[in-house]
Structures are given as structure tokens and as C-alpha cells.
Amino acid sequence: MDAPGPVHGPALGPVLGIESSCDETAAAILAPDGTILAESVFSQTEDHARFGGVVPELAARAHLAHLPGLVAGVLQRAGLTPRDLGGVAATSGPGLIGGLIVGASYGKGMAMAHRLPFVAVNHLEAHALTPRLPGLFPGLPGGGAEFPYLLLLLSGGHCQCVAVEGLGRYRRLGTTLDDAVGEAFDKSAKLLGLPWPGGPHLERLAREGDAARVPLPRPLLGREGCDFSFSGLKTAVAQAVAKGHAHADIAAAFQASVAAVVADRARHALAMAPFDRKPGATALVVSGGVAANTAVREALARVAEAAGLPLIAPPIRLCTDNAVMVAWTGIERLRAGLTDPWNHAPRPRWPLDELTPAA
């Protein structure tokens, strides 16, 4: 059952993006040139905080309750009706399957009802393409990243070094061997008695501490390749807490360790990246929730400067899960003539390098 092309309006009109892969319910509408016409996010943080993490069933129910209102709201603020859209893009993996089913089903329903093309968006590809959104970086030609570039995808569920060679052309150079970096932040914050989500709270606490007072390991630092490992660091945090070290000092030491490891892995990845284009990467890009951490950004900025490359990091609000990146990915794929059938099944696991290459 293939999705049809648009039967009214321009070849590519504004695109609706829907995000529901975890605990953020979001909708956004972007013009074909990347202009954000309207966006809205409903955060479920308060609903899950008392459980110390995301409860998948609660998240899915919240998506179901709030998504229709969010979509209606962004359409109204953009001054559009569904028939004015050029397509619908919805996150279809990876993520929590209940939320993916809600968002993808709603998006496919809109596409079917109004005979619009549908794009099943890979959440990781959306993070990877966010830096290409025009206008985010005025100092760059075209206002966004140009292929190819090296991506560090740092989030609560993913930690990868990826050579981004073009739309649908992604080579994973390294990944985490255990915990993702965002997961390590949250678990370490919990050991320090901080609220969930722990990353922002740990960063604030670290400003009050002295990293030199607590010797923590820097896993795989200097090792060949660009894989990551954070489970040992998390264990070391637990031991430091048990020994009675000041929590602010532990937080500072943990953050310094993560920043040093991420910078080291980025240096190795830049040396490994098999770009066809010479002299190689046009930029070092960091995306995902942990890209909002100031210490990590500063460490990567030094790596980029040493390599003679710009560091491109999306605005903080576009680092975490959002529908703007989903709509933009829809625009990129629709421009390349890539759509998905209405019976496309959401995937809780969907490796980035499994995407079909663009024609």
C-alpha cells in the first residue's frame, strides 16, 4: 500500500513533523526552505520524575492524549489546514514502541485522509540532519552544515560517532559498548541524590565543585578507535559517593571525565572518517541531549579548532527530542523523492546505517 504523491498544492508545501519516541510529545510545521512556521512541545517530565525515569505505558498514553491538540494548534498558528501541507513526517523509530505507534499512526492517518506523502523518520537521522536546517548558523555558507561531516550523536539512549556523507549515507565509526552517555549522566545524578532527568542538575552541581579532588577514570581514553564505555565510570561514581566525597566535587569530576573522553573519541573519529570528498569533513557536529552540556561543547570546540573545522551544535532547544528536526528530515527526504508506505511499521530498534541510500 504505497503512499501517493500530493494531489493539490505545490510540489512541496509546508511539512508537518511529529515526534513521540520517548517522553516529549511534539509537533512542528516547517516551510520548504526550513522556516519554522509553528512548533509545540508537551513535556512529560513531571509525570515521570516521581518514578525516576520514563514509564513507557504512561508516555504512550500521554502522547495519545496530547498529540491531536498539539497538531491542531500548530496548524492554527501557521494559518494552514491539512490540505495546505506538502507532506507528513513522523518519528517511526528507534524509541519506545508505544509512543512510536501513537505518533506514526496519527501521522499516517493524516496522510491517508488528505492524500499526502508520508515519511517515516528515523529519530537518529533527524538528529544527524538538524545541523543542516538553514538559518541556524549564519556564519556558514547556506546557514547550515554541508555534507560530509562527522557527527557525534550523544543522548540518553545513543552514543555514536558517525560519518555523515549524504542523505541516507551514514557510516557508524564507533558506538558505546555499554551505557550511553546520557544514561551515565542520569544514573550518576541519581547516585548523587539529584532529581530526574539528571543531566542538567548534575551540570549545575558541577559548577560548585572541584574535579581535581576526586580521581575518576576516563574509560578508553587514548585507545585505538572511537568506541565509548561509561559503565565503569558510573561504578566509580558510586564508590566515590560511598567514600564520602563532596557531591559537587564528584559531579565536577564526572563531567570532566565525560568531556575528556568525548573529545578524545572525536579526535580519533576525525582521523578514521572515510570521506570520499577531499580534504574530508566540512565540520564537527554534535547533536542529541548531551550536546546541551557546556563542558562537552567546550571540549569539542577545542578539538574542532585544532582540526581547523567549525564545531556545529544546534541550539539547546533543538538538542533534545523535538518535532522541528523531524519535519526538516521529512523535507530533506521528500526533496530526494523518498517517501514511505502507509503500512510502514514503527521500529523500536532502527540502526542509522540501515537507511536506504538516496538516489
Query: Does 293 show up as a binding residue in the annotation?
Result: yes
Q: Does 12 show up as a binding residue in the annotation? A: no
Percent of the chain surpassing pLDDT 70: 94
Output the pLDDT for position 10. 42
Is 321 assigned to a binding site? Answer: yes
- In this structure, CATH architecture of domain 146-313: 2-Layer Sandwich (3.30)
User: Thinking of the domain 15-131+321-354, which architecture would CATH place it in?
Assistant: 2-Layer Sandwich (3.30)
> Is 52 flagged in the annotation as binding?
no
Q: 15-131+321-354 with 146-313: one CATH topology?
A: yes
Distance, in Å, from the CA atom of 269 to the CA atom of 289, rounded to the nearest integer, reads 20
Q: What is the mean pLDDT of residues 110-116?
A: 96
251/265 Cα distance (integer angstroms): 21
CA separation for the pair 14, 123 (Å, rounded): 20
Structure-block grid coordinates of residue 270: 576525525
Segment 315-338 shows an average pLDDT of: 94
Enumerate the domain spans of the chain: 15-131+321-354, 146-313
Q: What is the largest CA-CA distance in the chain?
A: 67
String of DSSP letters for 192-255: TTPPSSHHHHHHHHHTTS-GGGS----TTTT-SS--B--HHHHHHHHHHHHTT--HHHHHHHHH
Q: Does 2 appear as a known binding residue?
A: no
Res. 317: pLDDT tops 50: yes
Is 186 marked as a binding-site residue?
A: yes
Q: Is 158 annotated as a binding residue?
A: no
SS3 content of the chain, % helix, strand, coil (to 5): 45, 15, 40
Whether 85 has a binding-site annotation, put simply, is: no
Tell whether residue 87 is among the known ligand binding residues. Answer: no
Give CA 254 to chain center in angstroms.
Answer: 22
The answer on whether 344 is annotated among ligand-binding residues is no
Instruction: Please check the confidence at residue 190 and state whether its pLDDT lies above 50.
Output: yes
Mean pLDDT value of segment 307-336 = 94
For residue 357, the model assigns a pLDDT of 52
**According to the annotation, is 146 in a ligand binding site?**
no
Rounded Cα–Cα distance for residues 269 and 153 (Å): 12
**197 preceded by a cis bond (ω within 30 of 0):** yes
The mean pLDDT value of the chain amounts to 91
pLDDT tens digits, 249-289: 999 999 999 999 999 999 999 998 776 555 578 999 999 98
